[in-house]
Amino acid sequence: MVDPQRTRVAVVVSLLTIGGAEQLLLELLRHINRQRFNLHIFFLREPGILGNEILQLGFPVSTGIIRSKFDLSGVFRLARLLKENQTDVVFLINHLNTLFFGVLAAKLARVRTCINWENETFKRYPFHKLTMMGRRILHLGIDYVVAAAKGHGDYIAMEEKIPHSKIRVIYNGVDPKRFQSNLSPQEARNRLGIPPESRVVSIVAALRPDKAHHVFLQAARKVVDAIPDTHFLIIGDGPQRSFLENLSNELKLENRVHFVGFQRRLGDILAGVDINSLSSYPQQECLSVAAIEAMSAGVPIVCTDVGFMKEIVIPDETGFLVPIDDPAALAEKLILLLRNPELHKRMGRKARQMVDELLSVEQMARAFEALMTAIIVQEKF
């Protein structure tokens, strides 16, 4: 039964695989106030890996709303479901099909408000100009677009021609408790098969071309030449794994680079890490959730100056930014931190402090709640 005292929110998603935006949605749903918001999750297709975790949260769920990529009848099925649930707010994750089906169904169902949560940038679509035109048209039916950073909001306004008055900035947030560990650094390294006194650098990212792991490996070679007992963790999986394993062997790093695959529980791994790294190209990178997760464990970051990372990676405070596609620059900053334990500790504390003050899931959830509440009561947010 629909509770008239709570704001009724329809969360419309596609298939939820492993990714930063999908993880953010999972965390938001874990922390949203169920006393104030009545949520129903609509999967256009099937739930997927992270979607199955959402199922365990106990929200009402509808799946299989569209039967194929171009199933236009799915618009009417979704509209009917939105009406039946007396939906106040349609909440979209920025997948192309959720934007298409969600906006059209919301208009047919006469839903009061539609929000789109964007979490990517500089993405190139097939038939890019035509796709962007379609996105701009669909965004005419969106009341608010949520950006992940201040610079991201400016990018959305410029690239998608969305008025600044529609854009709200809510920083990506993680749950710091999920990334704490009772293990000492030595114990964590022992579990990973790494000598306990070694230094450890990690990268947490899907093994895709845009993450530029080859740059990370080239930098690793330079770091090992300078500090031979350094080890490197590649956390994640994806289509480039074989290529990267071969490259690691070619660089004679097979005893220093550890491919540990996709990991859901990072706390005990990050306990053994000295520095986290991000070597990405600009395509799609916005405000890396993986980077924030490592920061929440008190691990400083050295990353490429992509997306809007400059808003959280403050040089000499929480980490260092380096140029794109520059293994030498990446290695230089890694070596600097590895050789300067006091600087490393200070930056780790600052990184954790930034997460607590700006990038926690509690702050993210409260900001979304404030936005949806303000919409319903017609207050300015």
Provide the phi-psi class of 6: left if phi over 0, else alpha when psi is between -120 and 50, else beta: beta
Count of beta carbons in the 10 Å neighbourhood of residue 76: 13
95-154: per-residue pLDDT in tens? 778 999 999 999 999 998 999 999 877 677 777 788 788 888 888 999 999 999 999 999
Sign of the four-CA dihedral 41, 131, 125, 120: negative
The reply to whether CATH 3.40.50.2000 applies to domain 7-173+360-376 is yes
311 vs 94: CA distance, rounded Å: 22
The pLDDT, as a whole number, for residue 377 is: 65
pLDDT at 380: 43
Q: d(Cα 70, Cα 231) in Å, to the nearest integer? A: 47
Of 165, 137, 168, 133, the residue nearest 150 (C-alpha): 168
Once rounded to an integer, what is the mean pLDDT over residues 6-24? 87
Q: What percent of the chain has pLDDT over 70?
A: 97
Instruction: Give just the sign of the alpha carbon dihedral 190, 290, 381, 80.
Output: negative
The length of the chain, given as a count of residues: 381
Task: Supply φ then ψ for residue 35, to 5 degrees.
Answer: -75, -20
Distances (CA, A) of 68 to 97, 100, 135: 11, 14, 20
Are residues 258 and 233 in contact, defined by beta-carbon separation less than 8 angstroms? yes
Q: Write the pLDDT tens digit of every residue in 237-292.
A: 999 999 999 999 999 999 999 999 988 789 999 999 999 999 999 887 889 999 99
pLDDT value of residue 180: 92
Band of residue 370 on the pLDDT scale cut at 50, 70, 90? very high
CA–chain centroid gap for 372, Å, is 21
Q: Phi/psi of residue 189, each to 5°?
A: -70, -40
Average pLDDT along the chain: 92
Average pLDDT over residues 199-226: 97
Domain borders along the chain are: 7-173+360-376, 176-358
pTM as predicted: 0.90
For 26-55, give one letter per residue: b (16+ CB within 10 A) or e: bbbbebbeeeebbbbbbbbbebbebbebbe
Q: Could you please report the per-residue DSSP string of 80-113?
A: HHHHHTT-SEEEEES-HHHHHHHHHHHHHTT-SE
Q: Which residues contact 295 (CB under 8 A, 6 or more apart)?
A: 276, 301, 312, 318, 319, 351, 352, 354, 355, 359
CATH fold of the domain at 176-358? Rossmann fold (3.40.50)
DSSP string, 44-80: SS--HHHHHHHHTTT--EE----SSTT-THHHHHHHH
Given a cut of 70, is residue 3 above it in pLDDT? no
> Three-class SS of residue 248?
helix
Report the SS3 class of residue 313: coil
